Amino acid sequence: MNRDEYKVSVVIAHYNAGNYIRKALDSLVRQTMNQDDFEVIIVDDKSTKPLDIIQEYESKIKHLRIIVEDQNHGYPSIPRNHGIAKARGTFIMLMDQDDNLADDTLLTFVEFAGNDSDVIIGKYAEGKMYNGTQVPFENGTNIKDASIITDHILSTLAPHKMYRRAMLNQYDVKFPDSSYIPVEEDQVFNMKAYSVSRKISILADKDYYYWNQREDFGNLGKSSSYTYNEPWKYLNILSEVFNIIEASPNWSSAQQSKLKAMYIGRLFNSSYTTVIEIIKLQKNEQERETLIAGLRKIINERMDSQSISEVRQESRWMVLGIKYGMNDEELSNLETELFSDEKSLAQNIQCINGETVKNLSIHGRTCAIPVDFLKNETSLGTK
C-alpha cells in the first residue's frame, strides 16, 4: 500500500479527449490548495490521438503523472482502478476528463473531511450544459455526517467525489470489471464506498463540481456494449448492489430493507429509462423472459413485503407486476392502463395507509397499486 505523500490524488481516466481536457487541467492549475499538497494522475486508456495537450501541463501542475494502459479497455473502470492503485494521497478525487472543479474544491473538501469523513460529496453546478442530480443539495446546507436515507445520498451514485484512500484500500472498494458489471459500474463502486464509510459528508453551499455536457455530446468514451441489451447485465447490477447492502457493517436490517427499496426504485425508473424499456431492449422473447424471471427471483428472495411497500410509487407497480408473474406484454398493458386510461384509472380507487391505490388483478391476485404519482386525489374521485 502506498504511503500518503499528498493530501489529495486527483485521478482522471482519459481517452481521446483532445482539447476538452484543458478545462479540467486548467481548473487544477487554479486550485487554492498548494501544489505541493496534491498530485494529478491521468490514466490514458490507450488513446489513438497524441497526448501532447496533457503533456503541456507537466510544467503547470507540479505533480502530474501520465500512465498509459497496455491495451484499450473501452470502459473507465480499469483505468480508474489503476490510478487509485498508484495514488499516494490521503484522499482520492475522481474527475472525468471533460469536467472541471471550482478553484477551492480540493482545499475545501479536505478541510471539511477532517479525520473522520470517508466520502465527500460536493454540489454539482446547474445549467443547460451541466449534468448531475441536485436532490442532496437543494437546501444548500453543508452536512458533516449525512444520513444515507434521509439526506438522499442514493440520488448521487456518479463517481465525481472525494474518497479517503485508506477506506478504499481497507475494504477493497474498486470499480468492477466490465466482464461482470459493464453498465453503471460507478453505482457499484459508490454503494460499496457508502456501505463501509464512517461518515459521508455533503457540501451544498456552492458549486464545487462542473459535470459538463460537451456540445458534441462526445463525453468520456464508452464501449458500444455499454447498454442493458443482455439480461445478465441488468441482473448483475441489481444483485451486486443488494449484496453490498446486505454485507454492510454499518447499516441495520431496517436500513438495509429501506435501501433495497430505494435502489430498486431508482433502477426501475431512472431519469433516462425504465425497466419496461430495458425489457424491450432484449433481443428476443426468450431473453425478455430470462430477464423478468431473474428479477422476479431477486425480488421474491431478497425483498420482504415491508421493503416492497417502501419502493417509490413510480416504480412499485413494476415491482409488483414482476413479483406476481406478469410477462413483458402484460407489463406493457399494465403501463398502458395506468398511464393512458384516465376513466379506468378513476375506478376501484381507495385510500390505504395514506396512499391512493387502484385495485388491479394480477394473475388472480388483487393488488393495491399506488397511483398518487399519476393523479392528485381530487381527479381520482376522492376527497
> For position 6, what pLDDT does the model report?
98
> For position 178, what pLDDT does the model report?
87
For the chain, how far is it from start to end, CA to CA, in angstroms?
63
Q: State if pTM tops 0.85.
A: yes
**Which stretches of the chain score pLDDT less than 50?**
217, 219, 221, 377-383
Cα(102)–Cα(125) distance, integer angstroms: 10
The domain locations on the chain are: 6-210, 231-338
> For position 342, what pLDDT does the model report?
66
> For position 2, what pLDDT does the model report?
77
CA torsion angle 159 165 169 172 (round to 10):
-10
* CB distance 205 to 221 below 8 Å: no
Q: For cell 396512499, what's the residue?
A: 355
> For position 224, what pLDDT does the model report?
55
Cα(248)–Cα(306) distance, integer angstroms: 20
Domain 6-210, what architecture? Alpha-Beta Complex (3.90)
Over residues 212-247, the pLDDT tens digits come to 876 654 545 455 557 899 999 999 999 999 999 999
